[in-house]
Chains A and B, each alone.
Chain A
Amino acid sequence: MTSTIMTQPTAAETRLGWESAEVRRRIRRRHAANRRLRLYGIAAICTAIGLLATLVVSLVLLGSPAFVQTKLDMPVLLNAQHVDPAQPARGNYRAIVRSSFLSLFPEGAAMSPRDQRALFRILSNGAPLAVRDHVVANPGDLGKTVTLSVPLSDPFDQLNKGKIRRDLPENRRTVTDRQLAWFDHLDAQGLISMPFNWAMFFNSDSRFPELAGMAGALVGSFYALMVCFLISFPVGIAAAIYLEEFAPRNRWTDVIEVNVNNLAAVPSIVFGLLGLAVFLNFFNMPRSAPLVGGMVLSLMTLPTIIIVTRAALKAVPPSIREAALGVGASKHQVTLHHVLPLAMPGILTGTIIGMAQALGETAPLLLIGMNAFIVEPPGGILEPATALPTQIFIWADSPERGFAARTAGGILVLLGFLVMMNMVAVWLRKRFERRW
């Protein structure tokens, strides 16, 4: 029976002809199409990676100088006549710094007041503060000479970092020839150093780039995110549980569902306007406060959390619910004892991603005044503060050279936090992989 089939080709065989040129051509074309599709994909991914790499590399190049600071290791004579030992915080430290600084230069005392002013521009305005802090911490040092590391002002910081070209004509750079000579004199004595810039993390904002740091913004962002989390997490989960587990399917719940989804797509600046109109103008809440910032951000994260929570609840298999109902658990027991714990990893992952979005959100915070110039970290959620992205925004707006690096450095810090939060989310997802 098989032999007859082999000797007399059936209609199907003559039609298909697996060995025919037509079929071979077709196979070749299919392979080519496969290869093309794969190439398109690879090209697209390479483009994306390239763009990302460009972004990160340029940020690192721009921002890395912000993480070191040029300092002068200056022997300071803590002249007791300028400081009342009973009130060390209120001494004339400017005078102390100036006289110590002058003594570093052989011609110092003979300089004209004009030259002295030019000379003192080398030091940061923060130098007297550094000395004061030392004295307040060590009152016993009064009258002695101690070596303190004080920051240089921004132009000389830039000079030391090679951002100011010495070969330019004098009138086209911020540093005069005489100042250059003074700086080189200090450098020759080995007094100039460039340590890690802790001020970037422990100082708050300042008019002077060499003193400006992100401490206030970090604390402000922390408070705002905390408020945002405390509002959006419980409310979001409760709303999602109601919608997913309890609400009847009808026109009303459909309307709510559509609106929640729409809310997630509303541009964030709109929430900022809402916050301005309602929280600030109507309820008279304080301007620039992390409380209001967190409330506005929670409006944005709420829909995200509702959506991911509903998805996570939906992903819990119905068999688990049936099992619990089958032994006589009531609806709330089913939800609280079984469904919610199983959905929790998904909920947490989504929440962290929502929080990361909130951390990077700028527009709504600008509208409620969290871009104010504030020189101290906020002491609570009601005090004026900035946040990381608004601090970056402020710096990006400032003309001094040092702020350009600060801006990129701030972005790097923000990105660092975002990457960290996303890594926690990934870890959570891995750690609590579904086990039913």
Chain B
Amino acid sequence: MDAATRTGTANAAQNGRAIFECRDVRVFYGEKQALFDVGMDIMEHRVTAFIGPSGCGKSTFLRCLNRMNDIIDGCRVEGSIRLHGMDVYSREVDPVHLRARVGMVFQKPNPFPKSIYDNVAYGPRIHGLARDRTDLEEIVHTSLEKAGLLKEVKDRLDSPGTGLSGGQQQRLCIARAIAVSPDIILMDEPCSALDPIATAHIEELIDGLSENYTIVIVTHNMQQAARVSQRTAFFHIGELVEYSDTEEIFTSPSDERTQGYITGRFG
């Protein structure tokens, strides 16, 4: 076990139960290795932030967690990633089912070109989560509510989701992810396409959601990581350099590369 993995597990005790246990994760794009022996435990009902310079493998690692890498030609994942103790890359795990339990919000808001209602209802529909129409309506409403969007769109659920503003679209995408009641929500730079006000809105939302969901967020914004997360992982050129409580990372980082990055000397 390497140093990073040890840090991860050592902190586990104070941080509650690990929902994801990752060990020696290596990812290759064709011949090129993008991640080197990453090991970390992701804690239940916490917000975990991934930071690091561009191209260091944050998105790559995030996409391993719900096997979104499967759709990339030539992408290969080694090592073990356990969700509730079950290896997500084992034969028994159906990636389709996995992605319903590990939701994802993308960098660019990507609502379906359908109505707001259908955007949120799509997941529950295909998984048969609603018993009937009223049940489905209920799911849609509570999801929009949790995503803090219901007030704004209550009267126009039939209008297209693509007609909303960028920030609203991103919250719609969050509502869509919530609607299938996942355990975990992965967010890959969810605010990078948004203005500061919309960003603040989403950050608030993440805070609220962390009561019921485990959230992993990739961000380039150090303040954002500090504001919303309890745990922070710093990646550098495919390696997990440091992973511990957010406060610790930002006040007394143990690795000088981390220190260099958060003080803005490189990255």
Chains A and B are bound partners:
yes
Q: Give me the interface of A with B, judged by CB distance under 8 Å.
A: 249, 317, 319-330, 333, 337-338, 342, 435-436
In the assembly, what is the distance between CA of A333 and CA of B112, in Å? 13
Q: Which one, A319, A327, A330, A435, contacts B176 given CB within 8 A?
A: A327
A328 touches B73 (CB 8 A): no
A326 touches B103 (CB 8 A): yes
B112 touches A326 (CB 8 A): no
A328 touches B106 (CB 8 A): no
Sample of 15 more A-B contacts, CB < 8 Å, known A320-B113, A326-B105, A327-B123 = A317-B110, A319-B108, A322-B106, A322-B110, A323-B110, A323-B176, A325-B71, A326-B103, A326-B177, A327-B99, A327-B126, A327-B180, A329-B123, A337-B126, A338-B112
Residues in chain A near residue B106, CB distance under 8 A: 319, 322-323, 326
What secondary structure prevails in chain A residues at the interface with B? helix
- 7 A-B contacts (beta carbon < 8 Å): A322-B106, A323-B111, A323-B112, A323-B173, A328-B99, A328-B100, A342-B113
Top-6 shortest CB links A-B: A328-B100, A327-B123, A319-B110, A326-B104, A323-B110, A328-B99
A317 and chain B: residue at smallest CB distance:
B110
Q: Scan B90-122; emit 1 where CB is below 8 A from any A CB, else 0.
A: 000000111111011110101111000000001
In the assembly, what is the distance between CA of A237 and CA of B98, in Å? 30
A242 to chain B, nearest CB (A): 16
Q: A330-B96, A435-B160, A435-B162 are in contact. Are A325 and B108 (CB under 8 A)?
A: no
Q: A321-B71, A323-B173 are in contact. Are A328 and B127 (CB under 8 A)?
A: yes
In the assembly, what is the distance between CA of A323 and CA of B98, in Å? 15
B99 touches A320 (CB 8 A): no
Residues in chain A near residue B180, CB distance under 8 A: 327-328
A320 touches B176 (CB 8 A): no
B113 touches A436 (CB 8 A): yes
B76 to chain A, nearest CB (A): 14
B157 within 8 Å of A by Cβ? no
B111 touches A328 (CB 8 A): no
A432 to chain B, nearest CB (A): 11
Q: Which one, B108, B162, B177, contacts A327 given CB within 8 A?
A: B177
B68 within 8 Å of A by Cβ? yes
Q: A323-B106, A329-B96 are in contact. Are A436 and B123 (CB under 8 A)?
A: no
In the assembly, what is the distance between CA of A324 and CA of B122, in Å? 9
Q: Which one, B97, B108, B173, contacts A328 given CB within 8 A?
A: B97
Residues in chain B near residue A319, CB distance under 8 A: 106, 108, 110
Residues in chain B near residue A328, CB distance under 8 A: 96-101, 123, 126-127, 180
Residues in chain A near residue B97, CB distance under 8 A: 328
Using a CB-CB cutoff of 8 Å, which residues 66-99 of chain B contact chain A?
66, 68, 71, 73, 96-99
Residues in chain B near residue A337, CB distance under 8 A: 122, 126
Residues in chain B near residue A322, CB distance under 8 A: 68, 71, 104, 106, 110
Q: Considering residues A325, A337, A338, which has the most beta carbons from chain B within 10 angstroms of its beta carbon?
A: A325
Residues in chain B near residue A329, CB distance under 8 A: 96, 122-123, 126
In the assembly, what is the distance between CA of A333 and CA of B101, in Å? 17
Q: Scan B108-150; emit 1 where CB is below 8 A from any A CB, else 0.
A: 1011110000000011001100000000000000000000000
Residues in chain B near residue A320, CB distance under 8 A: 110, 112-113
Q: Which one, A249, A324, A325, A330, contacts B112 given CB within 8 A?
A: A324
A327 touches B100 (CB 8 A): yes
In the assembly, what is the distance between CA of A329 and CA of B179, in Å? 13
Q: Scan B150-177; emit 1 where CB is below 8 A from any A CB, else 0.
A: 0000000000101000000000010011
In the assembly, what is the distance between CA of A330 and CA of B67, in Å? 13
